[in-house]
Structure 1
Amino acid sequence: MLARSALVARRAAPAQSVLGQSRNMATLKEIQMRLKSVTNISKITASMKMIASTKTTRAQRSMNVARVYGKTSSELATQAEVQKAEAANELLITVSSDKGLCGGIHSSLSRQSRKYLAEHPEASLVVLGDKAKVQLQRSYPGNIKCTFSQIGSSIPTFDETCVIASTILNDKDISFDNAKLMYNRFVSAIAFETDAIEFYPISQILEAPNFKAYEYQEDVLENLNEFLFANSMHWALVEGHAAEMAAKRTAMENATKNAGDMISRLTLQYNRGRQAVITNELIDIITGASAL
């Protein structure tokens, strides 16, 4: 009985060894495949980081020009001391884009827009970009009057902005007295802030205390107001584009760094598993040689 039990145990031992080997080999193959896929992802994110860095530099140059004109338009309302009309129709314009992979830049914009709509539930909403549209459509679908897509693939031009501004001003379903443009303001290459630009109607500008100090003609006031609206929107679009490119560069840099850390861990795990397989094979060879 003892001899038979020892013989059965000896026959079962190689089978268990082979099973452990096959399991280790399968695990090593899975780790190797995962390591290859993470390496490919790391190459893609590194390339996207380089592209975003180039786009950020160009976007900053355009932003610096648009910022000068935009601040000049806002300075007119500040110097004239234009006051917001009471019990007026409010319009919120959320300036976003269609692109992703840029951190929480769109979520921050949507969060501030929802906060404003919670305070002004009757306000109309115009969304520029599909990212903010998807997020705001869940909470305030009835407030959305108009949306624009295909924005953010390149640096916005003033001609594109004029088309968007004319569409909003000529839309019969959109009537407003005061407008607020919600956008992401570029602070640095690693930081942005959600800010807003106020737009006032021509009636409020004429009633401003200090506006009479300016010399103007009656027939050009309407054109001036439309130009100020397009100018402010162009500033918000270009500034938001620069902030988005900077955020994308930071996101791709972090993704590349995380992929490098994962590659190091997977390489260490693969080497340990490979050493364990080699050790088991050596133990089997030595055991067999000792038995002979």
Structure 2
Amino acid sequence: MLSRAARPALRAGAAASSRAAAPAATFATLREIEGRLKSIRNIEKITKTMKIVASTKLNRAQRAMTESRSYGETSNKVYQSAETKPLEGEGKKKLVVVCSSDKGLCGGVHSGLARFIRRRAATEGDNFDLVILGEKAKAQLSRTHAKNIVLNFSGVGKDVPTFTEAQSIVDQIVQLQGDYSEVEILYNKFINATSYEPTIIEGFSEEAFANSPNFAAFEVEEGVLPNLREYTLANSLYWALAEGHACEISARRNAMDNASKNAGEMISKYQILFNRTRQAVITGELVEIITGATASADM
């Protein structure tokens, strides 16, 4: 049995130990909140910087897109005037060129192209081969259409596309071993700064162009047909790459803008939580000091 004189001292020691444990947990919580605030502020700085960079690049990308349209639209007028149509026959496949890039953080630009291919395969069948430009679309389509991929290119989308880049890609495409009825170029069409949509540009084979109803009006020699087909395909691909690049830059700017706004909202919430927790810690310490002083006075 403890004496009456020792009991107050024991109670005071137990209270002191419990008081020592409580602030430690509270201070740890404060440190966690402060660490989260710091990390979110760093993320906000990064997203704001990326938004500024994307905004700067967007003007240049839109100028390149406008210039590339004259190439692609002029080439397509040849097929329209000749009334060219795809060849029909058993065993004829389509070759679909998917224009994406290697970069992310740009919303659903790349996933929209992959969904378009999957929807087409579900409705029309998968009687087509794929040429994929960029690692993003390749990573998504490899899960469902790996057997359809015959050629892919990496290192796409690092800068504004050029005709030389499109021509080098077409040089590899025309060397593919396959009897294709037509070539389709799938890209993101730039509608405005906030919207885009997957669109197809048709590129026909030499045989399809030669069998056009109005082919004779162009007076094209047969030996020139391969060069003409390769040149028009390069023009269309250049147009598609330039429009897709502008869509990607615009989508990245919008994504970084939304990310910065979300980070700002999270910072406000965590700052309020930090202030309330800190105030609770101060209030708790004041209560402990007053309680300890009262207990000492009673002893």
TM-score > 0.5 by shorter chain: yes
Q: Which residue of 1 aligns with 2:30?
A: 28
Matches of 1:65 and 1:121 in 2, distance apart? 34
Q: Which residue of 1 aligns with 2:156?
A: 151
8 Å contact kept, 1:113–1:182: no
Q: Which residue of 2 aligns with 1:228?
A: 232
> CA RMSD, aligned part only?
1.9
Q: Deviations over 1:81-137 (max 9, x none)?
A: 222221322111111110011111111111111223342423111111101111111
Match of 2:176 among 171, 180, 183: 171
Matches of 2:269 and 2:7 in 1, distance apart? 44
Q: Which residue of 2 aligns with 1:61?
A: 63
SS in 1 for 2:146: coil
Asked whether 1:212 is paired with 2:222, we answer no
8 Å contact kept, 1:70–1:231: yes
Matches of 2:175 and 2:265 in 1, distance apart? 54
Matches of 2:57 and 2:170 in 1, distance apart? 25
Q: Pick which of 260-269 and 69-78 moved more.
A: 69-78
1:10 Cα offset (Å):
4.4
Q: Which residue of 2 aligns with 1:123?
A: 128
How many pairs align? 291
Matches of 2:103 and 2:286 in 1, distance apart? 55
Q: Which residue of 2 aligns with 1:81?
A: 83
Is there any run of 5+ residues in structure 2 with no aligned partner, and where?
Answer: none
1:76 Cα offset (Å):
2.2
Matches of 2:54 and 2:69 in 1, distance apart? 21
1:7 Cα offset (Å):
6.3
8 Å contact kept, 1:156–1:234: yes
Q: Deviations over 1:240-259 (max 9, x none)?
A: 11100111111111111111
Asked whether 1:199 is paired with 2:203, we answer yes
8 Å contact kept, 2:102–2:157: yes
Q: Write out aligned runs for 1:99-118 (5 A).
A: 99-118=103-122
Q: Which residue of 2 aligns with 1:19?
A: 21
Is there any run of 5+ residues in structure 1 with no aligned partner, and where?
Answer: none
Asked whether 1:185 is paired with 2:183, we answer no
8 Å contact kept, 2:97–2:132: yes
8 Å contact kept, 2:44–2:259: yes
1:161 Cα offset (Å):
0.9
SS in 2 for 1:124: strand
Aligned residue type for 1:144: I
Q: If the length of structure 1 is used for normalisation, what is the TM-score?
A: 0.93
Asked whether 1:39 is paired with 2:41, we answer yes
Aligned residue type for 2:227: N
Aligned residue type for 2:142: Q
Aligned residue type for 2:263: A
Q: Which residue of 2 aligns with 1:72?
A: 74
SS in 2 for 1:141: helix
SS in 2 for 1:99: coil
SS in 2 for 1:216: coil
8 Å contact kept, 2:88–2:181: no
Matches of 2:109 and 2:12 in 1, distance apart? 65
Q: If the length of structure 2 is used for normalisation, what is the TM-score?
A: 0.91
Q: Deviations over 1:23-58 (max 9, x none)?
A: 110000011111111111111111111111111111
Match of 2:143 among 138, 141, 147: 138
1:11 Cα offset (Å):
3.6
Percent identity over the alignment? 46
Q: Deviations over 1:216-244 (max 9, x none)?
A: 34432321111011111111111111100
Q: Deviations over 1:251-277 (max 9, x none)?
A: 111111111111111111111110000
Aligned residue type for 1:46: K
Matches of 2:14 and 2:77 in 1, distance apart? 87
Aligned residue type for 1:239: E
1:5 Cα offset (Å):
7.6
Q: Pick which of 142-151 and 197-206 moved more.
A: 197-206
Q: Which residue of 2 aligns with 1:250?
A: 254
